Amino acid sequence: MKPETKSGNEKQNSRLISSSVKNPPLIEYRNISVMRSGRIVLKNINVSIELGEHIAILGPNGSGKSSLIKTITRDLYPYMGKKESYLRILGKDRWNVFELRSFLGIVSGDLLDNHAREILGSEVILSGFFNSSRIWRFQHIELRMKEKVKEVLKLLEIEHLAERKLNQMSSGETRSVLIGRALVHEPEALVLDEPTSSLDLRASSELHKVLRKIATAGTSIIMITHHLQDIIPEIERVIMIKNGMIVEDGVKEKILTSALLSQLFDIPAQVVKRNGHYYLW
């Protein structure tokens, strides 16, 4: 992503010009099933996410949302069934974590656990270049990396966090810094696992603003959440997941209905739409 120099449309156009053939999907799950501790947690997942799409994956706790991400990061492996199954990233069956970073910037709660709490905000972002949880003396920091960190701090409007230690930041601030860490590689998509968990209303709303800016700048947003409010207006497609299965997948307006949300969360729910945002009553 080059938010300072290219608009989302320009980025899309340059992609179209540079490739006359259709790009493979960014992520393609074909008949993917996963077991954890002897229990099936993902059942026969079939889904294709194209480059440039903004998507929300919505489901209650324990429905398998994080497991979906863990199959991409290879923290979990699908098991072989009778049907042909694969998980492809930009058409490739095999990839490593270093390659993955330039396609998908994954931001999850687990990430924070690995970071030393004494590390500065700018170092957390810089550590994204090395796929490490801190900056070591032997790591060679190039000028372009420092420049990129500055650019990301500016984009996220968190320049004031550059010199602040992680343990002196609020939950919202640490979340922004981790998003910055994922953005240094200019990924095609930012994958966010429950980005507003433990954030208060104001911090959530600020994070939504930042995500809207990132989406507009041309990076796909793949939002994994159980909060309807997290579905920013730029998100056009919603996938519902329940008990490890995809139960709905389609355009937001058709999916976010009171009937479907009541079924998904097993509660009588009413959807309210206001200024492009959705709320559950």
Ligand X SMILES: Nc1ncnc2c1ncn2[C@@H]1O[C@H](COP(=O)(O)OP(=O)(O)O)[C@@H](O)[C@H]1O
Contacts of 123 (CB under 8 A, 6+ apart): 134, 135
Interacting partner of 36 out of ligand X, Mg ion, none (Cβ under 5 to 8 A depending on kind):
ligand X
What is the CB-side half-sphere exposure of residue 136 using CA atoms within 13 A?
6
Report the run of H or E that residue 174 belongs to, with start and end: helix 171-183
Does position 59 bind ligand X by CB under 6 A? yes
Q: How far is the CB of 228 from Mg ion (least distance, A)?
A: 16
Q: How far is the CB of 217 from ligand X (least distance, A)?
A: 27
Nearer to ligand X (CB atom), residue 62 or residue 276 = 62
Interacting partner of 174 out of Mg ion, ligand X, none (Cβ under 5 to 8 A depending on kind):
none
Does position 175 bind ligand X by CB under 6 A? no
Distance CA 190, CA 27 (A): 12
Distance CA 173, CA 190 (A): 17
The structure tokens listed for 141 are 């920091």
Nearer to ligand X (CB atom), residue 66 or residue 219 = 66
Does position 63 bind Mg ion by CB under 5 A? no
Nearer to Mg ion (CB atom), residue 66 or residue 174 = 66
Q: How far is the CB of 58 from ligand X (least distance, A)?
A: 10
Q: How far is the CB of 53 from Mg ion (least distance, A)?
A: 21
Q: Is 99 helix (H, G, I), strand (E, B) or coil?
A: helix
Does position 66 bind Mg ion by CB under 5 A? yes
Report the run of H or E that residue 72 belongs to, with start and end: helix 65-72
Nearer to ligand X (CB atom), residue 64 or residue 187 = 64
Distance CA 199, CA 129 (A): 27
Q: CA distances (Å), 174 to each of 127, 181, 197, in order?
A: 14, 11, 12
Mask of contacts with ligand X, 27-56, x by CB under 6 A?
A: ---------xx---x---------------
Residue ranges that bind Mg ion, judged by CB under 5 A? 65-66
